[in-house]
Structure 1
Amino acid sequence: MNHHQLEKDIEHLEQVIARISAEDRIPLSYWRNRLARVQSADLVPSQASRIRRLNEALQALEARTK
């Protein structure tokens, strides 16, 4: 994944995860998979930090659904 696409994907995930809920049409598992795909890329430290925050936010959402 190239740098520009990676940044766009992270930005998109930041926007979406801040606004979704467990009741949305798109299941949380979809966003978990998208996050995992971005997480597997070669990340610079600032990107890795952003991914950690996204992961924590998504985990909190997932915990509320259980």
Structure 2
Amino acid sequence: MDHHQLEKDIEHLEHVISHISAEDRIPLSYWRGRIDSVSGAVRMPAQASRVKRLNAALSELEQRQKV
């Protein structure tokens, strides 16, 4: 994945994750897969930090879904 595509993907995920809930039509497992795939392509510390925040936000949603 090239740098520009990776940035676009991270930006998209940041937007989506901030607006979804556990009850959305698209399951959280889909977004987990997207974050995991981006995580594997991260090359810069700033990107890693952003993906870490995405992981934390999605984990929180996943925990709420289990309750």
TM-score range, shorter chain: over 0.9
| CA deviation profile, 1:18-53 (whole Å, cap 9, x unmatched) | 000010000000000000000001420000000000
Report % sequence identity. 68
TM-score normalised by L of structure 2: 0.96
Q: Which runs of 4+ in 1 moved over 3 A?
A: none
Gaps of 5+ in 2: none
Could you say what the CA RMSD is over the residues aligned between the two structures, in angstroms? 0.6
* 2:39 is the alignment partner of 1:35: no
8 Å CA contact 2:6, 2:42 repeated in 1: no
Unaligned runs of 5+ in 1: none
Give the TM-score taking structure 1 as reference length. 0.98
